[in-house]
Amino acid sequence: MASFDIIDILILTAAALAKIVVILTLTLGMVPILTWLERRGAGFIQDRLGPNRTNIFGITLFGLIQPLADAVKLIFKEDVQPRNADKFLFNFAPMLIVFGVIATFSVIPFGPDITIELIGREPLTIPLQLADINAGVVFVLAFSSFATYAILLGGWASNNKYSILGALRSSAQMISYEVTMGLSLIGLFMMFQTVSINEIVVQQGQFLWGIVWQPIGFILFLISAMIESNRVPFDMPEADSEIVAGYHTEYSSMKFAMYFMGEYAAMVVLSALIVTLFLGGWQLPFIDITQFIKNQYICALIGFAVFFGKVFFFLWFFVWVRWTFPRFRFDQIMRLGWKVLFPLGLANLLVTALFVLLFWDKVESFFKNISIFAG
């Protein structure tokens, strides 16, 4: 077991604080930008301008001041609580959804490891990942469900019939599609033979991305992620044309803003998970940047830029889907989950198991020979 002195502890503490800042920036800090992207994207898809009138001294910045105006409005709105609500759970639920999103992102690597070498000291490796957990994917599945608990608690504590209907819909969606999401990941575990997120990213650089090995698993995970984000066309927990505003009908001011932030931050986390598990994470396709660039800090910056670029693509994909497709009915969503995606996930799992059992050793040795030849 490695021993650390005070200098190592200070370096690790500073690195941890820096990674926390990055995580908060990529989750909560991205929310204003995503609200702007949502509105401008909607305007682009619907052939209109989008927000362009909010200004400071006549400066509009293409509508970028609108998120600031929204934040000011939410901060100064009255915080109303229903008379017969469970006040503790009513106040606790919005905080829970934000905590779950941030905790989930803490195990996602957003760049290659950095080794710090000081004169007269052993090298110290700093992973660009807040928590490198051996069972990182299991951690993700556990904490990603916090959003559903937050919605269920908030809906029940509101003592409102529309809120509880939205909460029950969210629970039904989570039960239906968390199973499919788990099945899509089990096939990935079989191919890479690990549940460590960092190891999965590294192996995608050696051979091929997860989407190549598990195309069906990628589709299942993408659909499940979109449904768990509770966005159109799968926004049944807050379908405004049916149940007013669903689980957050009684929420206002910053408590509503926390649910609002949780939805957009969940988009970032789900996009990051898709990129990490199926699209090579921070790695470029077919190119090992460490072979061309020896400066590890430049490699880390390039890796972070590549990771964020892939994440931004899926953020735009979420926006495009929302403003393109109509809302499904609740029975259609349940039928899709249990009669289409769940059997497809089981079939994909069976085929993957047979492939790993019969052919994986030959495939692995083939790619190892290619890597040796290329080296």
According to the model, what pLDDT value does residue 22 have? 87
According to the model, what pLDDT value does residue 369 have? 61
Q: pLDDT tens, 283-308?
A: 887 777 777 787 888 888 998 999 99
Read off the pTM.
0.88
According to the model, what pLDDT value does residue 3 have? 57
DSSP 114: E
Q: pLDDT tens, 354-375?
A: 988 887 777 777 666 655 545 5
CB 258, CB 98: distance < 8 Å: yes
Instruction: Tell how strand 124-126 and strand 114-116 pair up.
Output: antiparallel
Q: Cα–Cα–Cα angle for 338, 217, 279, nearest 5°?
A: 145
According to the model, what pLDDT value does residue 138 have? 84
According to the model, what pLDDT value does residue 1 have? 46
Low-confidence ranges of the chain (pLDDT < 50): 1, 373
User: Would you kindly state where each structural domain of the chain is located, as residue ranges?
Assistant: 6-50+84-374
According to the model, what pLDDT value does residue 355 have? 87
Q: Where are the alpha helices (DSSP H) in the chain?
A: 6-27, 31-45, 66-76, 87-105, 136-144, 146-157, 161-192, 197-206, 210-213, 215-228, 240-243, 253-278, 296-322, 330-335, 342-374
Tell me if residue 117 falls in helix, strand or coil. Answer: coil
CB 60, CB 66: distance < 8 Å: no
CB 40, CB 51: distance < 8 Å: yes
Q: Cα–Cα–Cα angle for 195, 151, 91, nearest 5°?
A: 115
CB 4, CB 123: distance < 8 Å: no
